[in-house]
Chain A
Amino acid sequence: MRLKLISCEVLYREMCAAAARAPHQVDVEFLPKGLHDLGGAAMCARLQEIADRADPAVYDALLMGYALCGNGVAGLASRALPIVIPRAHDCIALLMGGRERYQVYFENNPGVYYRSTGWLERGENMDQSILGIVKDKTGASYSLGELIARYGDDNGRYLFEEFSSYQRHYRQLTFIATGLEPDGRFEEQAVAEAARRGWQFDSVRGDLRLFEKLVGGEWDENDFLVVPPGWRVKPVYDGGIMDKEPIP
């Protein structure tokens, strides 16, 4: 098969490693991490635009290197190519090898901030400019200096405080080591970040099975949603996370 993979850049190393060993020819297109900041509907609209560019004469299926991602794939429609999406809430579940393991970890470890190679090295360098107005919409990605320049000293400081206040509720930083790291540098960065923020640190071993199955064409019902042409993704908020429904 020839497969087209559209993936968030946060999963860069994991997707590249899986695609390199895939039994199929996989063309990979990475998109900026900042797409998430657009919010569900706008993120989906951008994904749809890019998905619609995949030529059905060339590809057998379109793979998504995404999860439900804050409803960023809710409503994503298959036009001519089947779309395959792992059943997970977000990339942390993908990196952990499945939603079940993530759910257990999430419930037993409240207030965790997650890191992986992608979360540490991606998001700044890739051209995020296609996202245009995103920063203005959320404001949350501005630095203190940018906020002061834009809103004045008093209001800038207030906004920075508001946008970073959620971090006070976090208690722990968990690094997900997939085994693809060249050495200990990423984990060291994560340890240092946890210390800087005064959080506990935990390291868990990731699992690349969903990446391998995605590019390997092993799309069983339990782990993947396959959306045939004429159907679209519908979030369900139960164990299966998403389902398909006919495009009205």
Chain B
Amino acid sequence: MSDLYDAILNGNAKASAAATRTALEAGAAALDLVQREMIPAMDEVGRRFECEDYFVPELLLSARAMKAALELIRPLLTSSGAQPAGRVVIGTVKGDLHDIGKNLVASLLEGGGFEVIDLGSDVSPERFVEAARTNGANLVCVSALLTVTMPGMKAVVQAMETAGLRPKAKIMVGGAPVTQRFADEIGADGYGENAAVAVAVARKLVAAPQPA
């Protein structure tokens, strides 16, 4: 594989930016770099994370390297008129200030071709709804690290429902104490067990056919 692929896999941000510049100067197409280098590299990072060869620090470093490449590539993608894989509103649930996981998922989604609107931490259901409506989001991602704030996720699901934004916009939940069972109980559309699988779940959710 290429230098860019290796730089992302090894979490080397400087090498990643350098490899991107070199590739672009040599005439590589921006979208090709994303699809043939960056996404496969992040898929491999995810695979290594799954089999406990990589851990959170490695995931963060690879995401950082990927962002370094993306910053150079994004303006070219935009000017070429490439459509994002989806438009995502993301934040941690009201009362929860722990955002490492949310930041990581936001980076990975960006790397996966999504347009990401990051609302930060301690986000009220009203702010999720407002941002989803204003931006025409088709995915809302909500994260919690504390079980005490988890009921707030249900409030987001209900607020999205009341606002009439579902089922057009899907809701994905995640965070250390969150489980598939909980996601089902509160009526969320998707659940990511960890940051590494979040992109795959997000792709599946935005690709799902709309109910008639």
Q: Taking beta carbons and an 8 Å cutoff, which residues of A are in contact with B?
A: 39-40, 68, 70-71, 74, 89-90, 102-103, 106-107, 110-111, 136-140, 147, 150-151, 154-155, 158-159, 162-163, 165-166, 169-170, 235, 237-238, 241
Contacts and interface: CB of A to CB of B under 8 A. Distances in A.
Given A70-B146, A89-B148, A159-B57, A107 B95 contact: yes
Interface stretch (B32-40, B71-79, B175-183, B199-207): B175-183
A237 B182 contact: yes
A164 B51 CA distance: 26
B144 to A, nearest CB: 10
B193 to A, nearest CB: 10
Contacts of A136: 55, 57
Contacts of A139: 55-57, 60
B111 interface: no
Contacts, number: 88
Nearest to A111: B97
A158 B145 CA distance: 22
Interface in B119-154: 121-122, 145-148, 150-151, 154
A235 B146 CA distance: 13
Nearest to B148: A89
Q: Is the contact region of chain A dominated by helix, strand, or loop, or is it mixed?
A: helix
Given A40-B176, A237-B150, A162 B100 contact: yes
A46 to B, nearest CB: 16
B60 A159 contact: yes
A235 B147 contact: yes
6 contacts: A74-B179, A89-B146, A90-B148, A111-B97, A139-B60, A237-B151
Contacts of A162: 60, 100, 103
6 closest A-B pairs by CB: A139-B57, A169-B97, A89-B148, A71-B177, A70-B177, A137-B55
Contact of B98 (A68, A107, A166): A166
Contact of A163 (B64, B100, B146, B147): B100
Contacts of A90: 146-148
A171 to B, nearest CB: 9
Contacts of B89: none
Contacts of B154: 237
Contacts of A74: 179
A169 B103 CA distance: 14
Contact of B177 (A40, A103, A140, A154): A40
Contacts of B95: 106-107, 110
Nearest to B103: A162
A158 B61 contact: yes
Contact of B121 (A39, A169, A235): A169
A165 B179 CA distance: 25
Contacts of A154: 13-14
B118 interface: no
B46 to A, nearest CB: 16
A140 B55 CA distance: 11
Given A110-B95, A111-B122, 6 more contacts: A71-B147, A89-B146, A137-B56, A155-B61, A166-B98, A169-B99
